Amino acid sequence: MTWDRAGAERAVAAAVHYDMDFLEIALLTPDKVDAAHTRDLLERNEMRAVCSLGLPQEVWASVNPDGAIDFLKLALDKTQEMGAEALSGVIYGGIGERTGVPPTEGELSNVARVMEAAAAHAKTRGLLLGVEPVNRYETHLINTARQGVEMIERVGAENVFLHLDTYHMNIEEKGAANGIIDGRDHIRYIHLSESDRGTPGSGCCDWDEIYGALAAINFKGGLAMESFINMPPEVAFGLSVWRPVAESFEEVMENGLPFLRNKARQYRLVD
C-alpha cells in the first residue's frame, strides 16, 4: 500500500512470481512517487499497470472542486509518467465522506465539473479515467452502478469508464448481476473482492452470478483481485477494517488468485 521504491520493487516482483497480467497501484500520495523508477520496473518486467486513489479530505470534489482538479491533474501526470494506462477509484470523493443526508445537486454538480476537467486532462495524457461506486458507509455520493452510469453520462467524456467492485456490489446492488447489467455499456474494470475483503472464495459473494453476468455482457475489461491485508492506519480507518481479513498474503495469493482464475476460465473470460 506504500508505493515507495521498496514497495514498488516488492509488488512488481510478486506480480511476476504469481504470473499476473497487470498491477493496480494505490496512488495515495502521487507527489512522493518516483515515476521513473516505477516505469523502469514495469517495462523491464513487461508488466502493465493502472492506478487508483480516493481523494484526500482537503480536496474532496463535492466541497473543493478546484483543489480536486489540481490533485487529479497531478495524479494523472504521475500515472502517465509511470507508464500506467488509467487512473480509477473514488476519484470523485473520499473514502469515509458522508454528510448524513443524500447528495445535493450542488455536490453532484461539483463532482461533475471535477470529472469533466479530469477527463479532459486525462485525454491529453492518453489515459482512461474510471469511476468506482462504493458502499454507503464509505461515501454518500455514488453507491451503485446505476449512479455511476448517471454521472458518466452526465460528464459525457469518451475516456471515462465504470469501475465496479464486488465487495461494494454485495452491499448495494439488488444482486450483483443487476449491477453488471446496469453498467454494461460503460464497465471496463472490476475489482473481484470477497464479502469481507479477504480471500476470494472464502466468503459469501456469489461468484457464479458475478462471472455469469460478466460473460453474458461479453466483458473484455480488467479483472483485478482486491484484498486488504496490510494497510496503513489511515486507509484501514477509512475502510473500517479492524481485524485481519485473511491469515496471510500467501493465503490470498495461493488460494484466492487460483480460485478467481479458475472461475474466469470456466466462464471463458480468459484463455
Residues that are catalytic: 132, 226
Which DSSP string do the residues of 114-161 spell out, in sequence order?
A: HHHHHHHHHHHTT-EEEE----TTTBSS--SHHHHHHHHHHH--TTEE
3-state DSSP assignment of residue 192:
strand
Q: In Å, how far are 70, 73, 84, 225, 265 from 228, measured between CA atoms? A: 28, 27, 22, 10, 24
Residue 191 β-bridge partners: 165, 224
Distance CA 101, CA 143 (A): 14
Distance from C-alpha of 132 to C-alpha of 59, rounded to nearest angstrom: 18
8: its cell numbers: 514498488
Residues recorded for the chain: 271
Distance CA(152)–CA(120), nearest Å, equals 13
CA dihedral 193, 206, 251, 90 (to 10 degrees): 0
